[in-house]
Amino acid sequence: MYKITIDGKQYAVNVKGITGDNAEVEVNGKAYSVAIESAQHAFRPQPLRPAAPAAASAQTLQPQAQTPVKGKAVTAPLPGVIIQLPVVPGQAVRRGEKIAVLEAMKMENNLLAPVDGTVAKIAVHQGDSVLEGALIATIE
């Protein structure tokens, strides 16, 4: 979900999917099919990044298999959008230190280091949408 402001009016926009130069979006609860005119300047949301396969129904997204994670994984506790990444790979962190901030259901959730160590990998970027269980970072 994205919040955008146009001429001082705020809109809640959810990109449902993009196929070629067409996008299915929901704006303030109303569905639209829109054409993207300039592919090189068009916004392309990042794909959702699930951490592990999960049972899927017709209503859920199909997660993709991922390679095993070396080190201690920091994962998303629920689906949301990464709004802050205050650490970088190679940075030393202590248990309980903030690794990322995930916005879900209009609330900010601090994702904390589960152990003392060094950030080995950041698997997401600011603005990425993630599913529950998605790998956010690895600490070694």
* Residue extents of the structural domains in the chain: 2-35, 72-139
**CA 47 to CA 63: how far, in whole Å?**
11
Of 53 and 6, more confident: 6
**Is the per-residue pLDDT at 56 higher than 50?**
no
CB 129 within 8 A of CB 48: yes
Q: Which secondary-structure segment (H or E) carries 65? A: none
CB 74 within 8 A of CB 114: yes
Average pLDDT over residues 28-51: 63
**Is the per-residue pLDDT at 64 higher than 50?**
no
Q: Does the pTM exceed 0.85?
A: no
Of 35 and 113, more confident: 113
Q: Which CATH architecture has domain 72-139?
A: Beta Barrel (2.40)
